[in-house]
Amino acid sequence: IQAKEKSGTMMSARAAMDMGKTVITLPGNPLDRSFEGNNQLLYEGCPMVRNQKDLAQLIEQELLVPVFS
């Protein structure tokens, strides 16, 4: 998922963080403006997910709770 710094995605991420939810993000090309939001969240300390193993570790650490619909 790509998120510009000022986007609906970032508004949702900030709202989730304000509610105490863990927000995860994927790293993006630092030269691509469409990843400014992702990289800002990483800079601010949000957990980075590089692969399936990272996601599994976050769930194991109970930082994420999988939701299935």
Alpha-carbon gap, residue 55 to 9, rounded angstroms = 20
| Measured torsion, CA atoms of residues 1, 41, 27, 43, in degrees rounded to the nearest 10 | 170
Q: Which of the four pLDDT bands, split at 50, 70 and 90, describes residue 69? A: very low
20 or 65, higher pLDDT:
20
pTM attached to this predicted model? 0.79
pLDDT band, residue 66 (cuts 50/70/90): low
Cα radius of gyration rounded to whole Å, the chain: 12
Q: What is the pLDDT of residues 39-48, one digit of tens each?
A: 999 999 999 9
Residues 32-41 have a mean pLDDT of 93
Query: Mean pLDDT in the chain?
Result: 87
